[in-house]
Every structure is written in C-alpha cells, then in structure tokens.
C-alpha cells in the first residue's frame, strides 16, 4: 500500500510539471527572449525539451527512491540476523511472512509444533493457501495485521491431521499472536506469527495469565546494544513519553544519549550482564515535563554473545500504586479492626495484626495463601460472602467465626469488592461482638424466663412484644398477640379506668395499677401492672411488667402446702448454706435425733456426727459431694442423748443457674429397726436351715443304713468263712481266706467313703472353691441312690463337665432338695408309666443352667407360686416341714442366681409324660 502511494506521488509531480510546462512555458520564454524570430525557433524545440527534462527529472526521483529503499533493506537485513538468533531461542513456534504473503522464516519450535520438515514449506507456503489459517479462521486477523494492527487471537482448537495425516484425530489448543514489522520509513516489511500450545486443560489458565502478564508488561522501549554500549537498533511505542526518532539512538553509545543517572546505571548493568551472563533488572527514575516517572529495565545477552537486548517499561503507575497500597497497609495495620484481603481465588493475600490476634494466630505466614474456610463455623461462609459481594459490592454480615483453637465467637463484618488492574480483591474488617451477643442472649433469657409478664407496646396500647408468661395467661402465641391492642383484653368496667391510667402514664411517665383482664376460656383474673414510658430508636414506647394476683394467691397456697409436706415427711430433712451451717430442719429430724429446730439453727451439720469414723472418711465424703454433687450410703450418727443410730443418708449440692453452690440438703431415714429386723431374719433363716438339715438327717441316716446293708452282709459272710477256717481245718482254702479278708477291707472302705459324704453334706462352707459339675452330681447321686432305687426311679443324665467356682456343699444341698422333691412326687403317683428324673446341666454364655424334670404329673397351678414359701407343704405334717424348697431358693439367691419352676409335657421313648421342671441359673460362677 505504501509503495503505490509513493509512485502516485511521482506521477503527480510529473503531471503537475507537465501542466505547468504547457501553461507557463511560452510566458517564461517570452519573458527572457524578446526576439520573436528567435522565440519562434526555440518554441519548435519546446516539445523535445519537455520530454528530455521530464525524463531526467523522473529518472532522478525513481533513482532516489530505489537507493533509499535499497539502503533501508540492507540495513534491515543486516539487523535481521540478531532477531533470527533471538527467535531461534524462543520457547514457542514462530513464523515470518513477507509483504507478498509468502513464508520466509520459521524456527525450530515451529517444526516441532506442527510436526513438519523445514524444507517442505519454506518460501513455498502462501498465507492464502495455509490450511491452518483457513481452518482456524485467521485470515481476517492476518489482513488486519498487514494494516499495522497487533493481533492477540483467543485460544482455538486445531486438528493436526490437516497438516500431517499421521496425526489423525489429534487436536491442539493454540494461542496465536501476530505482530507487524516495519522498516525505518514506517512501511510494513513482514509480519511475525507466534503459536503457543495450551492443549493441557490444566495449563490453559496458566498460559492465559502468562499472556495477559506479557501484554501488561510489553516494553515501551527496546534497545539492541553492542558490548561496548553502541545502540544498533531501537524500537519504541510512538505514544511513549520517551519516544524519539531512531536517528537519535542508532550507532550512538547509551552513556552519550541517556540522562546522566540512567546512563550510569545502564553502563553499570551492561558490565554485570556481560560478566554474569544472566538477566539483570534495575529501576530508575526521570523528571519528564515536571513529573517524576519511574522505569524498569531488563537487560540480557543475545544468542550471538555479542549483543545485548534491553527492554524498558514505564512502571510509574505501579510504583504509585505500591506507595498508595503501602500507605493503606500502614493505615490497616494501625486499625483496631481485624482486616483481611482475599484475592480473586478466595485466598488470603493480606491480614493485619488485629486479625492475627482476634483469630489467635502467631504470624501471617500461617494464613497467607490459605482459604478462610477454617476461619468460620460454616466452612462455606467465605464463598457465600463473595457471592453476596458480587451482587452488591458493599455489605455487612453478622457471623459466627472460629479461632485457631476451634473456639467460636461472634463478629460483625463489613466487606467490600474492589478492582485493581482488572483483578478482584475482597477486603473485610471485623470486630468481636461476642459480649454484645451474650448480653443480648442474657436479656432474651431473662425476658423469656422471668416469673412475671413482660410486655412492650405503642403509646396507644398496640402490643409490640410479649414474653411466654403472657402467652400462657391468654393461651395465645406471641405472633397472635402482637399488633393487637391491650384494650381488647379489658372488661367493660375497666375500659374507662384505662383512659385515666394512660393519662397518668403520659404525664408522669410511669404508673402502677390493678386491673381485671379477660384470659383463656374467658376467665377474668386480676393483675398488678407496673408500666413506664421509655425512649427507643427515637420514639416513645410503653414497657410494662404484669403479675397475676390470683396466681400469686395460688403460689402462696402451694408454698404453704409444700411447707406442711416438708414438716410431715417421715424422713428427716436438713438444709444448710454453702458453708455447712444449718438453715432448715423438719419435725422428723427432731424426732429421730432429739434436736429441735432451734437447737441446730446456724450450727454445723457435724452436731450429729458419731465417733465411728475418722477424718479421712468425712474428707472423702465431702470430696465426692463436691465432684459429683451427691453422696448416699449407710452412716452411723449420734442422737442428742448420745445414743448411736444407723441411717441411710442422701446428701445433694444445690447450685444456682450460674453453677454457684447455694445449699446442701440431706435426707435420711433411721434404719436401726430395719437392721435389727434383718438380724432377726438372719437368725430365723439359720434356724430354718438347721431345721431343714435336721429334717433331712433322718432320711440320710436311713440312706446310710440302706447303703450299709450290702457291705455289712459281705463282712458277715467273710467273717463266717474266716471262723469256719478256724474251727474245721482244711475246709477253707488259703485263696478263699484271702478273698474274704479282701472283701472285708473293701466293704469297710466303701462304708468309710459313704459316711464321709454324709458328714461333708452337713458341714457349713465359708469360702468358694473350684469343682466339676459331673463330680458334684456323683456325690448327690451317692446320697440319694438307695432311695431312688427303692422307688424304681430312673435317672437320665445329660451333663456337661463344667468347672464351677462357688459353694460346693450349698449347691449339693440344692440338688438333694430338688431330687428329694421329685422322688416324693413320683412316690405318691399311682401310675403304670416309668418313674423318670431328667438332669441337664449346660453352659450358655456366662451362665450355668441346671434343669431337673420329673414325670410325676406336674404341680397344681393354684399352688405353683407358693412352693418356695417357708413352711408351705403339700404333705402331711408328719412327713414334711415345708422348708426344703424355701432354703433351696435362699441358697441359690445367695449364690447370685435364681430358681424357677414350670410344668412341662414331653415325650420319651414314644410315651407322653408331664412333670415339674425346676430351672436353676447361676451367674458369674465359671
């Protein structure tokens, strides 16, 4: 476009010269030549003269243009190698197109990026035929770039199989930028196109941020400098404050063309960059047009190691912003409010000292870069705040916050959304309002729980608020009462009275009166009202309290009733203050201890203490009372007459709503008579036990006699053989004599074991011992064997051999009693069926079960619940005492067990039977 413009200029000059020649040539000749003949002669050569002059002029213009163009192109291509070196080191794909639209260059990253060979496209590819540009719709952007516009194309998706068929079904996300390159005459020489692969989804945002940062920090000035400081190339934005024509810098040294302070810094960092071969960054400031400006310079070596590149950026706005932020930060640090700033990702980027103290953190490093989720009771609260700020940039919140130690507190937060350089920040300031919230809660608690009615109304009597006491009086909810008028609850006769009350209230600002109200179910009751006018939120309201006088009368009656109950309780009651001094006692206390109310008033409770316990006992008692708030147990105290008595005492600590100790209360019962009665019962039980054993002793002696019959007969027979051998020699052989002696010895040993078993049966046991279930049943059977066989009773056993740890003789007595009861029941039955007793012993979890079942027909239902009672028997008095099963129950319960009986029908060997089933369960004896 620019070349056409220049040719047009040449044509225009040629045209203007031609017109001027045609119009003015005769007048000019006439002015200089007065001779008409000579003038005519010269005019005959005027046309040729014009052609020659204009040809020379045209040639001169075109020649000058071509020379200037060649010089610029030479200069451009001389510096081009530096840019080529720079482009080769770029980490992204770069390609260059000339003004005719042909690709003249691409770097190594370009071949990797598109997976192509360098020889395939260079100098052949035309922009209009580029499949990549066509597919991505980039041609319009490229045409705009040829018009001088820098283009930043948004991320787009590109299919790679349009370039390389081996990459079928593969795509890349590409970020493309287009820069026009101009020569010194301002003409566009080439365009440079760069491509960045942002395919990885997780990196898209990162690359977007990097590219945004690049465009934010595009240099205002670019220098290419030789190591000696000579500037060989210079680029600058035309709207830059530092913009100067290139001739001012090109081929001059930086120290000669830059201001003194900047030149000195450039010279210093030029040497550092060459020495360290690393990027050097430094700042400097200049006075431009009575304004102080700040600049940042970045200097680095180029790939040829001969030249350096310096990028200069105006950072005045950044510096001023930092100074402003520093000032604001200083203000925030001095603020008593806890201030924090969240970035656009919702992470802390700033907190002040007050914030650290309020939330309980030691330093800002524990917070910065973290989410505020753990700083609130609701971990999603910060997101809700941000959402609210997006709708309304300023907002106030009342929140429950959470400190580092997990404790909660209430805050009032003011928050604001601000934008700095197109970035969002969320600033908040918070104050601790926990005390105010606590006071508000206390007020609400008092308002709701005070033992009188509280109401707030407008001056005209319209109700604004009431407490639960008034809700109960009228059987209406708070919402039902609000906005109604006090007048609607008055009787007809008191409506006129209300007018006088309101008049008094308005003039004196307070009033006390009694009035009748209509309550629930239209009941009329009298109340006492104290009211006053107060100012609230710039208006006057009525605040009043109300007492139900009829309820007060009921309360007085209830209090009197409670006092009568207190005085007539059979248990002694004593009340002390927090220091243990007696303040109240009832009549039962006086009856039990002998001390009157006046005897013990303001005395220590220790006045009834006996000498049975040492100080350690009482110290432990009061320690338990202090820690748990109560103590109970048997204790021996002393009456006024010095007589000791045993009581069951319960002590309780009474505290107020704040947990402060107010009183101790003791309730006790004199159990001396009960303990004496228990002693008598124990004596009685011992006597019954002895009676039971004596009753069984006769049977046991009969058993002994029966079991001794056979061994006594064997002894008698052996003795007869022995005597015969003495009287008649040779009748008895030596072997027969030895066998007789052996029989006598065995029989005596059997009789000895039998008598030991019976003696052990009656021996009392004080300690538990280990024994096996099979062994104890063998002993039981030994004691009962003779009686069972005499009555043709068959025993069917199913016994697990379990080791027990309990009282063996007591359990032996239980088994004998139950078997004896079954034997008696079977003996009294006239039946053709077999007489059977089933014995099952088994373990289930931690319990041992013993079940003994007979076939005697069961127990009558009307007496089944009585068989464990003392002296209850179904036998004739001459045959039974009625204490066997009673003692059995006492023994089992003393062994931490239980016994029960039921009737059961069952089949044994195809024959149906019915009998009593005794079940014994023993706990924790394994």
Sheet containing 661-670: which strands, arranged edge to edge?
A: 582-585, 572-577, 661-670, 644-655, 630-638
Tokens describing residue 343: 């970035």
When mean pLDDT is compared over 39-53, 181-195, 414-428, 580-594, the highest value belongs to: 580-594
Mean pLDDT of 357-361: 92
Is residue 260 classed as helix, strand or coil in its secondary structure? helix
How many whole angstroms separate alpha carbon 24 and alpha carbon 35?
18
Decide if 191 contacts 163 (C-beta within 8 A): no
Close Cβ partners of 532 (under 8 Å, ≥ 6 residues apart): 505, 509, 510, 511, 542, 543, 544
pLDDT at 59 over 90: no
Quick one: which H or E segment has residue 279?
A: none
How many whole angstroms separate alpha carbon 169 and alpha carbon 166?
9
SS3 per-residue string spanning 578-644: CCCEEEEECHHHHHHHCCCHHHHCCCEHHHHECCCCCHHHHHHHHHHHHHHCEEEEEEEEECCCCCE
What single-letter DSSP state applies at residue 82?
A: H
* β partners of residue 348: 342
Is residue 882 classed as helix, strand or coil in its secondary structure? coil
**Domain 90-198 indexed as CATH 3.40.50.300:** no
pLDDT at 284 over 70: yes
Sheet containing 280-288: which strands, arranged edge to edge?
A: 231-236, 221-226, 307-314, 291-301, 280-288
pLDDT at 1 over 50: no
Return the minimum-mean-pLDDT range out of 62-71, 417-426, 524-533. 62-71
Write the class of the CATH domain 204-314. alpha beta
SS3 per-residue string spanning 829-856: CCCCCCEEEEEEEEEECCEEEEEEEECC
When mean pLDDT is compared over 102-106, 371-375, 424-428, 561-565, the highest value belongs to: 371-375
**Hey, where are the domains in the chain?**
6-78, 90-198, 204-314, 335-434, 450-553, 569-756, 764-923
Q: What is the pLDDT of residue 719?
A: 60
Q: Comparing C-alpha atoms, which of 844, 904, 893 is closest to residue 868?
A: 893
Q: Are strands 835-844 and 793-799 parallel, antiparallel or unpaired?
A: parallel
How many whole angstroms separate alpha carbon 110 and alpha carbon 108?
5
- Tens digits of per-residue pLDDT, 316-344? 777 776 666 555 555 555 556 788 889 88
Q: What is the pLDDT of residue 206?
A: 45
**Which one is predicted more confidently, 451 or 838?**
838
CB count within 10 Å of CB 749 equals: 11
What single-letter DSSP state applies at residue 869?
A: S
How many whole angstroms separate alpha carbon 138 and alpha carbon 193?
11
> Quick one: pLDDT band at residue 294, thresholds 50, 70, 90?
confident
Quick one: which H or E segment has residue 395?
A: strand 394-402
How many whole angstroms separate alpha carbon 351 and alpha carbon 339?
6
pLDDT at 852 over 90: yes
Q: What is the pLDDT of residue 695?
A: 55
Percentage of the chain exceeding pLDDT 90: 10
Burial letters for 629-658: b for 16+ Cβ neighbours within 10 Å, e otherwise? Answer: eebeeebebbeeeeeebbbebebebeeeee
**Which region holds residue 408: left if phi is over 0, alpha if psi is between -120 and 50, else beta?**
beta
Say yes or no: do domains 90-198 and 569-756 share a fold. yes
Q: Comparing C-alpha atoms, which of 339, 311, 351, 561 is closest to residue 428?
A: 339
Close Cβ partners of 643 (under 8 Å, ≥ 6 residues apart): none
**Domain 764-923 indexed as CATH 3.30.565.10:** yes
Q: In whole numbers, what is the pLDDT of the chain averaged over residues?
A: 77
Mean pLDDT of 796-810: 89
How many whole angstroms separate alpha carbon 50 and alpha carbon 18?
8
- Tens digits of per-residue pLDDT, 198-241? 765 444 444 344 333 333 444 567 788 888 888 888 877 666 66
Tokens describing residue 896: 């931490």
CATH superfamily placement of domain 335-434: PAS domain (3.30.450.20)
Q: Comparing C-alpha atoms, which of 167, 170, 139 is closest to residue 153?
A: 139
> What CATH topology corresponds to 450-553?
Beta-Lactamase (3.30.450)
Mean pLDDT of 301-327: 74
Decide if 447 contacts 440 (C-beta within 8 A): no
> What CATH topology corresponds to 569-756?
Beta-Lactamase (3.30.450)
Mean pLDDT of 560-574: 79
DSSP alpha helix (H) spans, 33-158: 36-43, 46-88, 108-114, 131-136, 139-146
Q: What is the pLDDT of residue 434?
A: 80
Mean pLDDT of 387-415: 85
């Amino acid at each position: 476009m620019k070349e056409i413009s220049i040719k047009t200029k040449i044509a225009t000059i040629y045209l203007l010269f031609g017109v001027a020649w045609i119009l003015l040539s005769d007048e000019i000749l006439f002015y200089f030549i007065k001779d008409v003949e000579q003038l005519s002669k010269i005019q005959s050569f005027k046309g040729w003269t014009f052609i020659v002059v204009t040809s020379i002029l045209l040639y001169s213009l075109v020649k000058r243009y071509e020379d200037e163009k060649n010089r610029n192109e030479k200069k451009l291509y001389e510096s081009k190698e530096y840019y080529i070196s720079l482009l080769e080191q770029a980490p992204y794909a770069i390609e260059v197109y000339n003004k005719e639209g042909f690709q003249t260059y691409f770097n190594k990253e370009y071949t990797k990026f598109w997976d192509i060979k360098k020889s395939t496209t260079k100098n052949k590819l035309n922009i209009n035929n580029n499949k990549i540009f066509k597919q991505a719709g980039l041609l319009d952007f490229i045409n705009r770039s040829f018009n001088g516009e820098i283009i930043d194309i948004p991320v787009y998706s590109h299919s790679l199989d349009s370039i390389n068929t081996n990459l079928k079904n593969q795509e890349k996300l590409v970020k493309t930028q287009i820069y026009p390159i101009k020569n010194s005459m301002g003409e566009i020489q080439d365009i440079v196109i760069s491509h960045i692969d942002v395919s990885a989804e997780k990196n898209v945002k990162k690359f977007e941020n990097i590219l945004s940062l690049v465009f934010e920090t595009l240099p205002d000035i670019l220098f290419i400098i030789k190591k000696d400081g000579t500037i060989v190339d210079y680029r600058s934005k035309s709207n830059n404050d530092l913009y100067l024509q290139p001739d001012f810098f090109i081929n001059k040294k930086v120290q000669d063309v830059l201001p003194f302070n900047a030149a000195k810094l450039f010279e210093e960092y030029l040497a550092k960059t060459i020495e360290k071969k690393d990027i050097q960054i430094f700042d400097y400031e200049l006075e431009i047009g009575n304004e102080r400006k700040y600049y940042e310079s970045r200097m680095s070596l180029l790939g040829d190691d001969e030249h350096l590149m310096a990028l200069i950026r105006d950072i005045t706005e950044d510096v001023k912003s930092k100074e402003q932020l520093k000032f604001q930060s200083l203000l925030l640090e001095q603020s008593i409010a806890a201030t924090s700033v969240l970035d656009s990702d919702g992470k802390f980027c700033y907190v002040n000292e007050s914030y650290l103290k309020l939330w309980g953190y030691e330093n800002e490093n524990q917070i910065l870069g973290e989410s505020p989720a753990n700083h609130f009771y609701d971990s999603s609260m910060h997101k809700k705040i941000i959402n609210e700020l997006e709708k309304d940039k300023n907002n106030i919140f009342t929140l429950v916050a959470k400190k580092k130690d997990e404790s909660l507190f209430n805050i009032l937060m003011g928050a604001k959304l601000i934008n700095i350089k197109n970035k969002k920040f969320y600033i908040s300031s918070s104050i601790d309002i926990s005390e105010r919230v606590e006071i508000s809660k206390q007020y609400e608690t008092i308002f709701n729980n005070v033992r009188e009615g509280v109401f707030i109304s407008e001056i005209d009597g319209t109700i604004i608020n009431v407490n639960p006491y008034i809700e109960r009086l009228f059987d209406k909810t708070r919402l039902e009462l609000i906005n109604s008028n006090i007048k609607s609850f008055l009787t007809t006769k008191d409506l006129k009275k209300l007018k006088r009350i309101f008049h008094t209230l308005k003039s004196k600002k307070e009033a006390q009166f009694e009035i009748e109200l209509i309550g629930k179910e239209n009941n009329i009751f009298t109340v006492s009202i104290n009211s006053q006018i107060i100012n609230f939120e710039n208006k006057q309201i009525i605040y009043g309290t109300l007492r139900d006088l009829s309820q007060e009368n009921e309360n007085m009656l209830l209090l009197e009733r409670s006092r009568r109950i207190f005085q007539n309780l059979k248990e002694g009651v004593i009340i002390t203050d927090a220091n243990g001094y007696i303040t109240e006692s009832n009549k039962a206390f006086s009856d039990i201890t002998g001390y009157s109310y006046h005897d013990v008033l303001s005395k220590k409770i220790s006045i009834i203490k006996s000498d049975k316990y040492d100080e350690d006992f009482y110290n432990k008692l009061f320690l338990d009372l202090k820690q748990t708030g109560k103590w109970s147990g048997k204790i021996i105290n002393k009456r006024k007459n010095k007589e000791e008595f045993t009581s069951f005492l319960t002590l309780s600590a009474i505290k107020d709503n704040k947990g402060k100790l107010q009183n101790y209360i003791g309730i006790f019962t004199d159990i001396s008579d009960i303990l004496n009665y228990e002693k008598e019962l124990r004596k009685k039980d011992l006597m019954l036990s002895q009676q039971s054993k004596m009753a069984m002793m006769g049977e046991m002696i009969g058993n002994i006699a029966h079991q001794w019959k056979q061994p006594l007969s064997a002894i008698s027979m052996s003795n007869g053989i022995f005597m015969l051998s003495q009287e008649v020699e040779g009748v008895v052989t030596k072997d027969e004599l030895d066998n007789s002696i052996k029989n006598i010895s065995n029989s005596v040993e059997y009789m000895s074991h039998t008598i030991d078993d019976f003696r052990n049966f009656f021996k009392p046991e004080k300690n538990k011992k280990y024994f096996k279930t099979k062994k104890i049943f063998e002993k039981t059977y030994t004691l009962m064997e003779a009686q069972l066989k005499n009555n043709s009773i068959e025993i069917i056993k199913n016994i697990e051999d379990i080791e027990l740890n309990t009282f063996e003789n007591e359990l032996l007595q239980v088994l004998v009693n139950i078997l004896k009861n079954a034997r008696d029941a079977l003996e009294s039955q006239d039946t053709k069926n077999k007489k059977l007793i089933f014995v099952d012993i088994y373990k289930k979890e931690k319990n041992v079960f013993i079940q003994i079942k007979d076939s005697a027909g069961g127990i009558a239902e009307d007496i089944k619940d009585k068989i464990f009672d003392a002296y209850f028997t179904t036998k004739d008095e001459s045959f039974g005492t009625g204490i066997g099963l009673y003692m059995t129950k006492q023994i089992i319960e003393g062994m931490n067990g239980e016994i029960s009986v039921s009737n059961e029908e069952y089949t044994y060997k195809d024959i149906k039977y019915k009998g009593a089933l005794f079940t014994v369960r023993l706990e924790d004896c394994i």
